[in-house]
Amino acid sequence: MNDREFVLTLSCPDGRGIVAAVANLLAEHGCNITESQQYGDHYTGRFFLRTQFIAEARPGAGPIGEDGLRAAFAGLAAALPAPAEDGADPATEWRLWRRDRRPRTLVMVSKFGHCLNDLLYRWRSGLLDADIAAVVSNHPDLEFLAGSYGIDFHHLPVAPESKRDQERRLLELVDSYDVDLVVLARYMQVLSEDLCTKMSGRIINIHHSFLPSFKGARPYHQAHARGVKLVGATAHYVTADLDEGPIIEQEVTRVDHTHSPEQLTAIGRDLESVALARAVNWHAQRRVLLNGSKTVVFR
């Protein structure tokens, strides 16, 4: 990747000629498309597009720069289908990224370290398309793990009377580390509505897929007592509605009567790690577009 490779994402009211308009604009500015995906949602009337391209040298001129591309796409967006008059259909939304700009990520964790360990390993191995800038926890237990990877660890304990101050300190860390994405890697605290609003679309959570059936402590023991036949995990964006944000990825496997609660827990932790890593990578690659209460994922 270099500073001439870009990703464009676009969401707008559906209509004819959108793909052609984007392709023609890129061709006119000497850009070569290397990957393109699109989807029109019949139910919402929205069109979604992700295009990856390289800005190449033009006859008599060098490649177009990022500022020139932004100006060109702004003009294109203004010419795309207009929103409905009743305001139910929002206007065109588009974003442009350089592919070499890896999202800076802050990982939050409590006492279970399987998802954190998996993310750190993938990051160190070059398998994660995001850079882990720091780890934050409401417990000190996993400081050794972050330290073994050379990652800053911040212990921010939380209690009902200190929750506001703890979240204020968290936002200060987001600013100081220039964080693009927060990942809740089994962080066992509920974020405030204010924090969810400020970080909308920038926080990913993972949880077991038994919700809402088996809430509270020891969910795998509850599931074992009910004889579940499926174990899974869900990665989603965080909203003020607890564990109900737009889903990015889910993973599942079959189990049976021979599995103990401990075995179910171990299986679930593996699934959580895989689903979360996929969600983080797809977000980092700008493959996830919000579509109301759900997502479009261009894998």
**Residues known to be catalytic:** 243
Cβ pair 135, 290 in contact under 8 A? no
The β-bridge relationship of strands 104-109 and 181-184 is parallel
The β-bridge relationship of strands 203-208 and 181-184 is parallel
Q: How far is C-alpha 142 from the geometric centre of its chain's CA atoms?
A: 23
Cβ pair 18, 37 in contact under 8 A? no
Return the number of other C-beta atoms located less than 10 Å from residue 162's C-beta: 12
Cβ pair 185, 108 in contact under 8 A? yes
Q: How far is C-alpha 231 from the geometric centre of its chain's CA atoms?
A: 22
C-alpha–C-alpha distance, residues 12 and 60, integer Å: 35
Output phi, psi for 218, to 5 deg: 50, 55
C-alpha–C-alpha distance, residues 1 and 217, integer Å: 45
Is residue 75 left, alpha or beta, with left meaning phi > 0 and alpha meaning psi from -120 to 50?
alpha
Return the number of other C-beta atoms located less than 10 Å from residue 230's C-beta: 11
DSSP state of 112: -
Instruction: Please give the C-alpha separations between residue 30 and each of 27, 35, 291, in angstroms, as whole numbers.
Output: 5, 16, 31
- The helix/strand/coil state of 23 is helix
Cβ pair 292, 201 in contact under 8 A? no
